[in-house]
Structure 1
Amino acid sequence: MTTLRKSGFVAAAVTGLLLSLSGAASAAEVLRIGTDGGAEPWTFTNSGGELIGYDIDVGNEICARISAECEWITTDWNGIFPALNLGKFDIIMAGVNVTDERKQSMDFTRSYAVSLSSFAAKEGSSLAAYQASVDVVNLDDMTPAAQAEIIALRAVMQDQSVGIQTGNNTVPFVEEFFGDLDLREYDKLETRDLDMQAERLDLGMAGESYWKKLATKEEVSVVAFGPKFGGGIIGGDIAAPMKQGRPELKASIDAALSSMVADGTLAELAVKWLGSDASPKK
């Protein structure tokens, strides 16, 4: 009986959320979604040139729940935020971390994933074997142990080169906490990864799920090391940015995402694409 009552409660909650999608914002015939298509497993193209990934599945499900047609627009990462503000699309779905800096110039939907970031190095290198003293460094709650770990990590990585995608939120993080590193920005993550493999680059930094996916590829042998970082300047919650001043659209998409949390859809998609349940729990 307990299971039936719980299932009935969840179903009622989902139904209520979906009914709330009947407002003006949900009546849009087309939802234009910007993505860069170059951040596996979030958004990338398969051998047939088709956009696939966690963001793509989540975006298509949003469109289904608000009775809109998805129009996916691929844009280079370094121009994706200006394109949003110019009105070229309604939202961005490209594994975007929510940060205080970004919230000053754009609005965000509710979170649809949680992603921590870490460094990685070529497999077999001395850096790849580094053992952290803490598992996660939360920049919103810098404990003495976390501060000590950053100092220790800074010492072993001193004067190394690190590659990060241009415009990524980890760029200001590295500049603030690891200023001794030789920071190199890349338009494409694939180019950065190949430079690591060829030992033209010592380190990379990206989301935990990105390194997990890369570890399954034969052409690049890199491994994440050290603690995972989240909070503060680096963020952690993944959400869809939108141009400021569109409250009805935000409410519509938020309701769709909340219904996907309630019925387990986000959890299933996270396991499928990210390798673990990285979905928000409420």
Structure 2
Amino acid sequence: MNKLILSTAALALTAGFAMADTVRLGTEGAYPPYNFINDAGEVDGFERELGDELCARAELTCEWVTNDWDSIIPNLQSGNYDAIIAGMSITPEREETMDFTKGYTLPSPSAYVAMSADIDVNTAIVAAQTGTIQSDHVATTGATLVEFPTPDETVAAVNAGEVDAVLADKDFLAPIVEETELTFVSDVYLGGGIGMAFRESDDELRGKFDAAIASMKADGSLNAMLDKWEIEGKF
């Protein structure tokens, strides 16, 4: 998800990840097609498939942990899991407190969606998920920003007439537009692509995932996976 946490967390007081242990991957589980919870109650989506493949290539044993978006960075820093793989855009603000792998997507568009394509998004009332690069962008325009804790609530607000439009990742909004009366208004490119985030003390672990991502780029399997999940930002 293309997201920006506005506050930073204190670094964990514990030591970095021990390479012999199981790697815990933290995700939101609420942002399809990147990550979601399937009917069996398991983490699913593009990032589940990607994360499992990266762990196999890095010869690491991994397990999945779900966490609400608004506390996903603080809980990485406090040691509740070892990496974030949750549609998180690489931004200068986040790089002040965390280290990222190289992006596993190139920057892809965010989109405004509304009941009418005639909406002026620079003067409208626009919904965005709290703590995202989309909410940060709306705040720099002439629009009135209304924030919600989850992406589903932002779409519900448009459908209920509480706001004029929503700004979110286009990959997330595309299937919603196909199934509803909502329509795309315009696109905007934000952030520097999506990557995995790590504590700054876990450089060795980050390096293992970086190498695995590079190998998937080199053999074409990453682009094939992006195609499968209909995600823009191929290499």
TM-score interval (norm. to shorter): 0.7 to 0.9
Q: Which amino acid aligns with 1:66?
A: A
Please report how far the alpha carbon of residue 29 of structure 1 lies from its aligned counterpart in structure 2 after TM superposition: 4.1
- Give yes or no for contact 2:171–2:230 (8 Å, CA) kept in 1: yes
* Distance across 2 between alignment mates of 1:263 and 1:186: 39
2:135 to 160, 167, 171: 171
Secondary structure (helix, strand or coil) at the match of 2:173 reads helix
Q: Which amino acid aligns with 2:24?
A: R
Deviations 1:3-26 (A, max 9, x none): xxxxxxxxxxxxxxxxxxxxxx99
* Distance across 1 between alignment mates of 2:187 and 2:152: 23
1:47 aligns with 2:7: no
Larger Cα Rg: Structure 1 or Structure 2? 1
Partner of 1:229: 189
Partner of 2:111: 118
Identify if the C-alpha distance between structure 1 residues 104 and 45 changes in structure 2 by more than 3 Å, giving closer, same or farther.
Answer: same
Q: Which has the higher helix share?
A: 1
* Distance across 1 between alignment mates of 2:186 and 2:98: 32
Secondary structure (helix, strand or coil) at the match of 2:229 reads helix
RMSD of aligned alpha carbons: 1.9
* Distance across 2 between alignment mates of 1:101 and 1:27: 28
Deviations 1:82-129 (A, max 9, x none): 00111111110111001111111111011101222121112x4522xx
1:108 aligns with 2:64: no
- Higher mean displacement: 77-86 or 194-203: 194-203
Gaps of 5+ in 1: 1-24, 128-155
2:156 to 185, 191, 194: 194
Gaps of 5+ in 2: 1-16
* Distance across 2 between alignment mates of 1:85 and 1:109: 16
Q: Which amino acid aligns with 1:172?
A: D
Please report how far the alpha carbon of residue 222 of structure 1 lies from its aligned counterpart in structure 2 after TM superposition: 2.2
Q: TM-score, normalised by structure 1?
A: 0.72
- Give yes or no for contact 2:26–2:66 (8 Å, CA) kept in 1: yes
Partner of 2:10: none
Deviations 1:202-257 (A, max 9, x none): 111111211223234x3x43222223223xxxx13100111112221111110000
The number of aligned residues is 218
Partner of 1:90: 82
- Give yes or no for contact 1:164–1:206 (8 Å, CA) kept in 2: yes
